[in-house]
Amino acid sequence: MAGHSKWANIKHKKAAQDAKRGKVFTKIIKELMVSAKSGGSDPEANPRLRQAISSAKAANMPNDTIKRAVQKGAGELEGVDYEETTYEAFGPGGVAIILDVMTDNKNRTVAEIRHLMTKYGGTLGENGSVSWMFEKLGQVTISANGHDENKVFEEALEAGADDFIFSDNVFIITAKPTNTVDVSDKLIEKGYNVISSEIEMVPKNTLKVKGDDIKKLINLIEHLEEHDDIQNIYSNFEVDDAEI
């Protein structure tokens, strides 16, 4: 988990930058629309939509915006038809990368991703080439805000969590995907500030990246992050903090 912790820190910093560019809402709106399209507009009967709504609320998205996105996805209002897919790749240093994508033009998006990979030292792989290195887990991130670590751990377990780590003034709480929303809701009820509540692909093991590959890898990740159609990026790399 140490390596994932460092990656989570990078993701957390990138999320803050994305928020300034207004990209967080765009990504969440896409997820709301696709969730509603695939499973209907009732969150009680659609666990994925319930998770998306939880993420939207954690990002302080207005209720009207959430409602419109759900209605568009369910076909109750006119909206863009997004298709979702996942790409697997290898980055500098041989690290594994998974990209969750939502797009209205799959051919355009894969061509652009392939171009970024080629330009910045990565290669697209076949389906299944890296996904076996990851497991799907729920991740609820809460602000530390001076909370006692032992108390947070105890209340997180009571809420249904499996484990947690403390890093960069946040607690990253791990849960089964099906328990994630309940864990998030219960922690909010207890007064914790939930920064994010998501289902993520967490690496089973990490690969340490050194030397010039660090700069190349982070450069690739940052350019992928800037692509509007890429919802999430997961990787198994680990670097020493002093080398970032």
pLDDT of residue 70: 95
Give the mean pLDDT per block of 10 residues along the chain (244 residues). Answer: 46 54 82 93 91 88 94 88 94 95 95 96 95 94 88 92 87 92 91 88 91 92 92 89 58
Domains and their CATH numbers in the chain: 2-73 (1.10.10.200), 83-132+207-238 (3.30.70.980), 134-203 (3.30.70.980)
pLDDT of residue 168: 80
CA 77/CA 108 separation, integer angstroms? 26
pLDDT of residue 16: 53
pLDDT of residue 17: 54
Dihedrals phi, psi of 29, to nearest 5 degrees: -60, -45
pLDDT of residue 97: 96
pLDDT of residue 169: 85
User: How many residues make up the chain in this entry?
Assistant: 244
Give the residue among 120, 59, 110, 48 at the shortest CA–CA distance from 85: 110
pLDDT of residue 244: 54
pLDDT of residue 2: 38
pLDDT of residue 78: 87
Instruction: Catalogue the long-range contacts made by 169-173 (C-beta closer than 8 Å, 24 or more residues apart).
Output: 169/143, 169/144, 170/12, 170/141, 170/142, 170/143, 170/144, 170/195, 171/141, 171/142, 171/143, 171/144, 171/147, 172/5, 172/8, 172/139, 172/140, 172/141, 173/139, 173/140, 173/141, 173/142
